[in-house]
A = this chain, B = another copy of it.
């Protein structure tokens, strides 16, 4: 900050207590203080500077990330940070690195799938980073379908070892982050074969590189898979390729919590229920939903601030042009994304609770809520990541031409975010899993089995199939009950319609395949209902702070009425609302935009992002955009000299008509 706040006028307009909203956004005062402290610590440390990141060639970029990761670990030790603080620090360093997989996948895999003995052996090494691990699951030819993996782990009772092997080219491990150049170890997923029988996919701890000189061990071929989308983005990560040529590991490096192979080569299931593994999936997807609100809020923060700085058209007499944030078309694209960021925040918070609940039940051997929790997290992962990826790009477009510059921060944010639509379950595949759950629920409605949790509304199916919206005027759309019933009726009717159409097929699987697109739409309707409901439930809590709750009500209204407008076809088609009522909803939506407008800047300030974290000239807190854009331009390598490198060889011969003899 250099003194002048060009957005001060905007900040003065706010009708609520920004500091209280910061706490709501963070989830608790503790979270707020933690994030605030650690983000500033990172922002103020030149060791974590992001300067020039998008201009570095791959090798330098990667080396710089190695440096940052080591430096972060050094600071974590020096400052004696707790595990929670250390995780926050890595988050605010904000650069994908091998450490993400080490802490986020390798360690949890051992914790979740290793026996107590295995945990005791491996975790201390991993916690001190004496070994660095990654998670080697996907293969060149196999992604979503884990059961199709080809890598084999064949037990050899002679030596009490597994032989890990890549039998085909398509069985090459492909994509695991941290694998290419850094990891010394990996949890490798392979088909367990013993006594000539294939027991399906299991995890194995395999050492890949020497702990002394880091050379790949004999039989291990390992490398980076090459450049990915974006300038910096995930190119800081060594996503890797890995092949095994009959690599031997001791039997006790099979992760044996759920199933074991004995010395004699007998495959035995333990008494630990397999469902426990689903708990991990719920956990991972829950964090993905939180990450979605992080990423979307960053993009929205940049775009909202710049929309208040940018002026265009509308000056009649040489005066200032209009701030683009005042255009309804801008609001109609931007404000629903701002509302979505908040909506995803709250549904993410609720998912954390759900995870705790599921975990407790699993420990008590109660698996009853697992299918619902699984469908719900799968669906929300799909919904929020799709909306966030699209939303970031929309925010970029909302910044006009300048959003295309790397210095806007938005190209990087997009490129680094989009993989979320594909990893941990492809978003379309996940929607179909939700749809299966919905169809199963519908088919059991007559059975007396009461649907629970997020699917409880199906228990009121008779009402939901018949009811009609009683909205008569614009303001009726502010009633939470009117909104929730609309989303429930739409979701229920779409599911039932799919179920009826499925019934027309002799072979249900064939029907499911044929109607997949409709089923995916029904799943989206169900998931949107969840987000809307959780937002409304949040508002039923006590929320302190002047004007805070009112602002959230406006955001909730925008989120739900925007969806209602966008998916008008569903609501009209299922007959729950009339086109008159749809048009009233749209009028209400417009009115909410006007209510939001004066609070927009403060609502993004509430995310409490440092300029370091945003890394965007357009999104600067002080709004001092143009001088800084101008300044930044001169740092490009092309500006190191007035005359371009290549002028003498390629431009001069052109201008001088001497191309015929030029060597090109």
- A residues lining the B interface (CB < 8 Å): 47, 54-59, 62-63, 66-67, 69-71, 73-74, 77-78, 128-132, 138, 140-145, 148, 169-170, 172, 175, 180-182, 184, 211, 213-216, 223-231, 234, 238, 241, 311-313, 315, 321, 327-330, 332-333, 393, 397, 400-401, 403-407, 411, 415, 418-419, 421-423, 426-428, 432, 513-518, 520, 565, 567-575, 579, 582-583, 586, 590, 626-627, 629-630, 632-640, 642-647, 649-655, 657, 659-660, 662, 664
Q: Shortest distance in angstroms between A590's beta carbon and chain B's nearest beta carbon?
A: 7
B130 contacts A639, C-beta separation under 8 Å: no
Beyond A223-B633, A328-B515: 9 further Cβ-contacts under 8 Å? A66-B650, A71-B664, A73-B659, A130-B655, A148-B312, A148-B313, A215-B643, A223-B634, A241-B630
Query: What residue in chain B is nearest A513 (Cβ atoms)?
Result: B328
B230 contacts A62, C-beta separation under 8 Å: no
Q: List 21 A-B contacts (CB under 8 A).
A: A59-B638, A143-B401, A144-B400, A145-B312, A148-B312, A181-B638, A182-B644, A224-B638, A226-B635, A227-B405, A227-B406, A227-B636, A238-B638, A328-B514, A328-B517, A329-B428, A400-B422, A400-B426, A401-B423, A568-B570, A573-B579
Do A328 and B579 form a contact, CB below 8 Å, given A143-B312, A626-B170, A655-B132? no
B227 contacts A140, C-beta separation under 8 Å: no
Q: Which residues of B contact A428 (CB under 8 A)?
A: 329-330, 333
Q: Shortest distance in angstroms between A142's beta carbon and chain B's nearest beta carbon?
A: 8
A657 contacts B148, C-beta separation under 8 Å: no
Do A653 and B70 form a contact, CB below 8 Å, given A405-B228, A633-B226? yes
Q: Which residues of B contact A400 (CB under 8 A)?
A: 143-144, 422, 426
Partner of A642, one of B216, B234, B241, B513: B216
A132 contacts B654, C-beta separation under 8 Å: yes
Q: Shortest distance in angstroms between A58's beta carbon and chain B's nearest beta carbon?
A: 5
Partner of A70, one of B422, B423, B664: B664
Q: Which residues of B contact A169 (CB under 8 A)?
A: 626-627, 630
Q: Shortest distance in angstroms between A429's beta carbon and chain B's nearest beta carbon?
A: 8
Q: Shortest distance in angstroms between A278's beta carbon and chain B's nearest beta carbon?
A: 19
A574 contacts B569, C-beta separation under 8 Å: no
A422 contacts B397, C-beta separation under 8 Å: yes
Query: What residue in chain B is nearest A419 (Cβ atoms)?
Result: B404
Partner of A626, one of B140, B404, B517, B637: B140
Q: Shortest distance in angstroms between A415's beta carbon and chain B's nearest beta carbon?
A: 7
Query: What residue in chain B is nearest A184 (Cβ atoms)?
Result: B655
Nearest 10 CB-CB pairs, A to B? A568-B569, A229-B411, A569-B569, A332-B517, A57-B57, A181-B644, A63-B646, A66-B650, A227-B406, A70-B650
Q: Shortest distance in angstroms between A147's beta carbon and chain B's nearest beta carbon?
A: 8
CA distance A573 to B570 in the complex (A): 11
Interface centre among A58, A71, A180, A571 (most CB of B within 10 A): A58
Query: What residue in chain B is nearest A223 (Cβ atoms)?
Result: B639
Q: Shortest distance in angstroms between A320's beta carbon and chain B's nearest beta carbon?
A: 10
Q: Shortest distance in angstroms between A210's beta carbon and chain B's nearest beta carbon?
A: 10
CA distance A539 to B66 in the complex (A): 59
CA distance A116 to B142 in the complex (A): 64
A229 contacts B406, C-beta separation under 8 Å: yes
Query: What residue in chain B is nearest A333 (Cβ atoms)?
Result: B428
B129 contacts A321, C-beta separation under 8 Å: no
A329 contacts B638, C-beta separation under 8 Å: no
B644 contacts A238, C-beta separation under 8 Å: yes
Q: Which residues of B contact A73 (CB under 8 A)?
A: 654, 659
A633 contacts B132, C-beta separation under 8 Å: no
Q: Shortest distance in angstroms between A558's beta carbon and chain B's nearest beta carbon?
A: 13
